[in-house]
Amino acid sequence: MKTVFVLNGPNLNLLGVREPATYGSATLAHIETRLRALAGPQGVEIVFRQSNSEGDLVTWIQEAGQAGAPVILNAGAYTHTSIAIHDAIRGAKAEVVEVHLSNTHAREEFRHHSYISPVAKGVILGFGARSYELALQSLFPSQ
């Protein structure tokens, strides 16, 4: 069975409550349920995790890289600040699709730069919860 890690950074545990005009009304649990429903019939196992701690994300990226499992990563605000996550992706040779619920380029200037994008396979942003589904489809296009 193929495995994909879906890793979520700070404040994503507040989805559905935090700024729904920006992030939508879907909760993180809803996103997880939807991804599992899409992945299961295709023989893809989902490892779904969320942490507000940068170090957890680094460890999980390394774990995925060592397992040869691709990663769907919404690093939240760490996208714009974390050289450690950038280095983990590069060092673990993890195949990462960077996702964002909102269009970060239509928001504050500080959100326009990503430390993840240069080491990611691709970036999907601005499609709300569907961004995760598009990322999953991009990793397993023939399925």
CB 39 within 8 A of CB 105: no
Enumerate the H helices of 70-129 as residue ranges: 83-92
HEC letters along 53-83: CHHHHHHHHHHHHHHCCCEEEECHHHHHCCH
Closest to 8 in 3D by CA, of 40, 46, 52: 52
Closest to 133 in 3D by CA, of 41, 6, 13: 6
- Residues with a catalytic annotation lie at 23, 100
Closest to 46 in 3D by CA, of 27, 28, 58, 59: 28
User: CA-CA distance, 112 to 115, in Å (whole number)?
Assistant: 10
Instruction: Give the SS3 label for residue 102.
Output: coil
